[in-house]
Amino acid sequence: MSPRILKRLALPGVFLVICGFFALREPAFLGARNLTQLVVEFAIVGTLALGMLMILLTGQIDLSAGSGVGLVGGIAAVLVFEQGWPAPLAMLGALGVAMLLWWLMGRMIVRGGMPSFIITLGGLLIFKGLFWLVIQNSTIPVARGDTENLYSMLTTYYLPAGVGLGLGAVIAGVVAWVQWRGRVVRRRYGLPVMSEVRALGQTIFMAGAVLGVVVILNRFRGVPLSLLILSATGGVIYFLTEHTPFGRALYAIGGNEEAAIISGLAVERVVIGAYALMGVAVALTGLMTTAYSGASTTTVGDLMELDAIAACVIGGTALKGGRGTVMGVLLGALIMTALLNGMTLLAVAPEMKFIARGVVLAVAVWMDARWGR
């Protein structure tokens, strides 16, 4: 096999090895119940990591994401539980706050010429303080009594089996159609296209993977709503990074900011925009993870910024900017989630979990330094 193919298979290989290890130690790891939980946790880590990808692409960083996750979940919980707001409105309000905060941080970094490392480190502390103020250091449930609302349903609602399967089929069909259509148009203009066998193989693999996941999830309770949120986030960020001038600018700024400026790109606006979008990712993650734990407590979101950065770097994102893909980050998030989930399942002591997370982060950065261009 050529080195390029080996490189592409490395991450899926690592993922399978991790899954194999946990499955051998604890067969319940591959049970439908645990796999469903793993998918929800993957949705939470993945959404934040996708936001982080845009920040890292520009060569910046965001250390405040974890605190922000707690803060957003806390604001929404207080609005629902104590102020009696309808859940959708409360969630929208919290999302607005996150966007505003991240837009502000982006402005300070770009216009003030301040290093993002420090600004977001300040954000980490400030948001944590605000978070604890908002929830008064207590535990605020996401719904009153035993009732359900949109907020609590984020991680407890599952699509009925038929709907899940239908949706999976539609998604696979749309992706296949877009790919086929792209080939036809490119060929009409005499542009190079990949061989038919490869294209067909890719499409079949993609459709198989989507439907396979749905079938497995249907064995438990169905496709979780949070997976749809992750898919939508992934789709939007994929479109932004691959198909828009905004995405090109992200890569150009991280690759060579001076060249991006001379090329006439709106460098400042793009970086601020990336932070505002990170605010949205933080909000979505905050709402999901708070819903997942059922209530907002002081530890929600702790260290999640590091999991997100680790997921990005494991997935091939360069810390100095200019390199990284949505697919890579999703794979990195999957590996990260499998590790965390497996360790919880094996009842690994919390102190060992901290150490393991740290080692994974260090190894990922070491790989970036060693094999990154």
Partner 1 sequence: MALADEEWVGRPLLEVRGLTKRFSGVAALSGVNFDLRPGEIHAICGENGAGKSTLIKLLSGIHPVGTYEGEIFIGGEVVGLRSVRDAERAGMAVITQELAMVNELSVAENLFLGRAPRLGWRIDWLEMHRRAAVLLGEFGLEISSETLVGDLGIGQKQLVEIIRAIDKQTKILVLDEPTAALSDVEVGVLLGQLRELRRQGTSAIYISHKLDEVFSIADRVTILRDGRSMATMETAETTISEVIERMVGREISTFFPRGERVVSEEILLSAEGLTVSAKKGWAPCLRGITFELRAGEVLGFGGLIGAGRTELLLHLFRGWGYRLGGEARLLGKPLVDSTPGDSIERGMTLVSEDRKRDGLVLGETIGFNLSLSSLRRFTGVGWRIDAVAEAVRSEEFFRGLRVKASGLDVRVGGLSGGNQQKVVLGKALMTEPRVVLLDEPTRGIDVGAKLEVYELINRLAGEGKAVILVSSELPELMGMSDRIIQLAKGEMGGEFRRGEWTEEKLLGAAMGRQV
Count of chain residues binding partner 1 (CB under 8 A): 28
Residue 192 contacts partner 1 per CB under 8 A? yes
* Cα 208 from Cα 366, distance rounded (Å): 34
Is the distance from CB of 145 to CB of 131 less than 8 angstroms?
no
Q: Minimum distance between the CB of residue 67 and partner 1, rounded to whole angstroms?
A: 31
Minimal distance in Å, beta carbon 240 to partner 1? 8
266 binding partner 1? (CB under 8 A): yes
280 contacts 286 by C-beta, under 8 angstroms: no
Applying CB under 8 A, does 256 fall inside the site for partner 1?
yes
- CB nearer to partner 1: pick between 56 and 159: 56
For the chain, first and last CA: distance in Å?
A: 22
| β-strands 140-141, 295-296 pairing | antiparallel
From residue 232 to residue 251, the character string flagging contacts with partner 1 as x (rule: CB under 8 A) and all else as - is -------x---xxxx-x--x
Q: Which of 146, 196, 258, 351 binds partner 1 (CB under 8 A)?
A: 258
Segment interacting with partner 1 (CB under 8 A) among 3-11, 16-24, 182-190, 335-343? 182-190
Q: Which of residues 317-356 bind partner 1 (CB under 8 A)?
A: 322-323
CB under 8 A: which stretch of 29-37, 84-92, 119-127, 185-193 binds partner 1? 185-193
Query: What span, in angstroms and rounded, lies between the C-alpha atoms of 358 and 307?
Result: 9
How is 42-55 classified by DSSP, letter by letter?
A: HHHHHHHHHHHHHH
137-145, 188-196, 222-230, 301-309 -> range binding partner 1 (CB under 8 A): 188-196
Token digits for 170? 């539609």
Shortest Cβ 252–partner 1 spacing (Å):
5
Nearer to partner 1, 170 or 259 (CB): 259
Q: Least separation, in Å, of the C-beta of 255 and partner 1?
A: 4
Does residue number 56 form part of the binding site for partner 1 (CB under 8 A)?
A: no
Residue 259 engages partner 1 in binding (rule: CB under 8 A): yes
179 counts as binding partner 1 under rule CB under 8 A: no
Instruction: List the alpha helices (DSSP H) in the chain.
Output: 3-25, 32-57, 65-81, 87-111, 116-134, 150-153, 161-188, 196-218, 225-243, 245-255, 257-262, 267-293, 304-314, 326-345, 350-371
Q: Between residues 89 and 236, which has the closer beta carbon with respect to partner 1?
A: 236
Give the Cα separation of 270 and 267 in Å (integer).
5
CA distance 122 to 130: 12
DSSP string, 238-265: HHHHHHSHHHHHHHHHHH-HHHHHHTT-
Q: Does 263 bind partner 1 (CB under 8 A)?
A: yes
Which residues contribute to the site for partner 1 (CB under 8 A)?
182, 185-186, 189, 191-192, 239, 243-246, 248, 251-252, 255-256, 258-266, 322-323, 373
